[in-house]
Structure 1
Amino acid sequence: MLKKRESVILVGAGVIGLIAAMRLAEAGFDVCVVDRGQAAQEASWAGGGILSPLYPWHYPPELLRLSFYSMSLHQALARELENLTGIDPQWNLSGLRIMAGKRETIPADIINWAQRWQLNWQLMGKEDGLHPSLWCPEVAQVRNPRLLSALLLRCRQLGVKIIEHTEVSGFRRFHNGQLCGLETTRGFWPTNHAIITAGAWTGKLLESARLHLEIYPVRGQMLLLQGQAGMLNSMIMRDQHYLVPRQDGLILAGSTSENVQFDKSVTAEARETLWDFAHDFLPELTSDHIIRQWSGLRPGSQESVPYIGALPGWKGLYVAAGHFRYGLTNAPATAEILVSTLTDQAPPVDIKPYLPATHFQKDPNSSPAD
């Protein structure tokens, strides 16, 4: 068990790294977060803020159990951060309407499926002039840039060191497998405990430790539209695209899913696709209402089930990555798992499905020590 004030370095300052840093600092650890770029500016910032798996019936139970538990933590987290920092993350139980589409239909037995997961979903007809739809009242949203700002401030209040524009390139260990430090662009940093929370870049970092987990970048593009408050009363989704209305009238239209490695450029094709989708539901908008287009790189993984826990062959080196679209949704639960792991406490959920030891492939040329 780690002693209080033991140092921990988190590699990656996205929502998972920041919530974990906050919780570890609250538990008494000396915490540092290092990021290759600017803190809180990658996939956690770029997403739409929907707090739920999308089309959840497609996913395995281990992803759903983690997500539904984590969803239950977000409202209290938002209130806690607002009280402590004065920044309101704007958690909002706006609900999600899933429309039947050409590529994604609504299963005939969906209500029975939802009841098994204790979800109060409702099937809606055509009485409103729209396509048949599934109403999901439990789905909330959060203003992710505001959440990240609150987390950064709270971490600083707790004395967490946040070091930006510093890239970690590798790890060192002793002959017994104990982590002894990180190789960075600012030199070698000694530490006995580190957690890789680097999102889409995690796979590259693991290669430096001679470990191989299926984590790969998936680009998602977004549009920001200037709407009006009350223009949409809920989030809407059809055929993997969605609209997210913010409290001030801004509307997010997302998202693409593109395997283009680490290319973060935006495309005219995605802009047209997302605009057509938005305009189909909001014909009163014109292209003049488009404010901005951007992209982010999600950490793809098999069936979106993340890897959370200790890395085999390394003592003191952990990972929390591979959440794909659901890093924001699953961040509070992931942080709880990490804290319980580092303090030898009982985890909040069964962690066996997320342990890297059950998934990783080790380099046959690796040795017990570097």
Structure 2
Amino acid sequence: MLKKRESIVLIGAGVIGMLAAVRLAEAGFAITIVDQGQIGREASWAGGGILSPLYPWHYPSELLRLSFYSMSLHHALSSELASLTSIDPQWTLSGLRIIEGENEVFPNDVRHWGQNWGLNWQVSDCKATTKKTLWCPEVAQVRNPRLLSALAERCRQLDIKLLEHTEITGFKHKNEQLLGVESKQGFLATGKAIVTAGAWTGKLLDQIDIHLQIYPVRGQMLLLQGSPGMLDSMLMQDNHYLVQRQDGLILAGSTSENVQFDKSVTPLARQILWNFARDQLPGLKSSSIIRQWSGLRPGSHESVPYIGPLPGWNGLYVAAGHFRYGLTNAPATAEILTCLLTDKAPPLDITPYNPVTHYQKQRQVFP
């Protein structure tokens, strides 16, 4: 049995919050996770489970370094969780096939760009259209609801306290030292806390006059009934994608809408996603639509997340703003947080994710 050290409260029970909780508990900390709703039922649950930045040439190097490192950790993570919890997250090296579209044309040097990042990309002409196709064999998928279930079970195995339906209302400190977290259910005394609240992080930190550029972006999805083998890889065109699971179910995603915290679904998004799915897989019938839902991603400048300590609040940390790539970047983010809280060297340069550095860079872009 590990000897318990000091306590840490994590605010937000998505994939980043739960995986960070697991790694910190394994390092010996006493962990409590607080969530305003049900654990593992927000953006981490709502997405398609693609483990890679989409159209990665659009993103800055600091995001790509984090993402490509984190992608390398996912297979081992899924194997570990399957062994420990008997819940298989179904990590699958499906590969991703990107077809040029009306709104997204490949750079002329896209293959060379990929080679510079160690990626074995291949470009070919699409047989069905005049568009080019980019084959990305390194891209895997994970069945994110199963990953979240496995993480929740691992949290229970490690005696991590899971407080659901517990809304955080503030933070308390003295002489810049964190004393605890206020909630509607009472005060949680702790000298260390990490805000991993996804799209709600900005609202939480506004209360203590820390204004990070994290905002909600709604993404709508469809679940379709397919048959196993209908897709030989994941497929994407013009920011819409299809992901097939091992049992034949197909996810069609997604929209990107700035509607604040509105999680409703719309007939327009349903039609757009259905048209895309049917264009790619003509064998689908209207009866194939099983369900439609939405999630709120934590948007940030260039999708570069904030990971690290917050100024003026000794003991208070943040890990949020991952936008579409919280699932992809969860293993690396959890590792960085564990290193910060155990005084170990992080696996890569974390300066770009430091909240102060990141915020100052934003101010230069948005004065």
What TM-score do you get using the length of structure 1 for normalisation? 0.95
5+ residue gaps, structure 1: 362-370
Aligned partner of 2:228 in structure 1 is: 229
Structure 1 residue 26: deviation in Å?
0.4
3-state SS in 1 of match to 2:236: strand
Deviations 1:46-95 (A, max 9, x none): 00000000000000000000000000000000000000000000000000
Deviations 1:110-136 (A, max 9, x none): 011001000000001134657320000
- 1:12-91 alignment to 2 at 5 Å? 12-91=12-91
Structure 1 residue 106: deviation in Å?
1.1
Structure 1 residue 271: deviation in Å?
0.1
What code does the residue aligned with 1:349 have?
A: L
Deviations 1:15-64 (A, max 9, x none): 00000000000000000000000000000000000000000000000000
Counterpart CA distance in 1 for 2:187 and 2:159 is 22
3-state SS in 1 of match to 2:98: strand
Aligned partner of 1:365 in structure 2 is: none
Aligned partner of 1:366 in structure 2 is: none
Structure 1 residue 286: deviation in Å?
1.0
Aligned partner of 1:295 in structure 2 is: 294
User: CA 1:286 to 1:130, structure 2 compared with 1: closer, same or farther past 3 Å?
Assistant: farther
Counterpart CA distance in 2 for 1:126 and 1:252 is 22
Decide whether the 8 Å contact of 1:42 with 1:297 is kept in 2: yes
Aligned partner of 2:143 in structure 1 is: 143
Paired residues, what number?
Answer: 358
- 1:156-195 alignment to 2 at 5 Å? 156-174=156-174, 176-195=175-194
3-state SS in 1 of match to 2:31: strand
Counterpart CA distance in 2 for 1:360 and 1:179 is 21
Identity in percent: 71
RMSD of Structure 2 on Structure 1 (CA): 1.1
Counterpart CA distance in 2 for 1:4 and 1:57 is 44
Structure 1 residue 360: deviation in Å?
3.7
User: CA 1:127 to 1:278, structure 2 compared with 1: closer, same or farther past 3 Å?
Assistant: closer
Say yes or no: does 1:337 pair with 2:336: yes
- 1:124-273 alignment to 2 at 5 Å? 124-127=124-127, 131-174=131-174, 176-273=175-272
Say yes or no: does 1:309 pair with 2:312: no
Counterpart CA distance in 2 for 1:198 and 1:126 is 41
Decide whether the 8 Å contact of 2:236 with 2:242 is kept in 1: yes
Counterpart CA distance in 2 for 1:130 and 1:84 is 48
User: CA 1:231 to 1:130, structure 2 compared with 1: closer, same or farther past 3 Å?
Assistant: farther
What code does the residue aligned with 1:69 have?
A: Y
Counterpart CA distance in 2 for 1:261 and 1:9 is 27
- 1:351-370 alignment to 2 at 5 Å? 351-360=350-359
What code does the residue aligned with 1:165 have?
A: H
What code does the residue aligned with 1:82 have?
A: A
Counterpart CA distance in 1 for 2:129 and 2:321 is 39
Counterpart CA distance in 2 for 1:129 and 1:42 is 37
Aligned partner of 2:364 in structure 1 is: none
Decide whether the 8 Å contact of 1:32 with 1:163 is kept in 2: yes
Counterpart CA distance in 2 for 1:128 and 1:296 is 33
Deviations 1:179-232 (A, max 9, x none): 001110111111100000000000001011210000000000000000000000
Q: Which runs of 4+ in 1 moved over 3 A?
A: 126-131
Structure 1 residue 139: deviation in Å?
0.2
Larger deviation: 21-30 or 183-192? 183-192
Counterpart CA distance in 2 for 1:149 and 1:80 is 14
5+ residue gaps, structure 2: 361-367
User: CA 1:91 to 1:130, structure 2 compared with 1: closer, same or farther past 3 Å?
Assistant: farther
Counterpart CA distance in 1 for 2:52 and 2:22 is 23
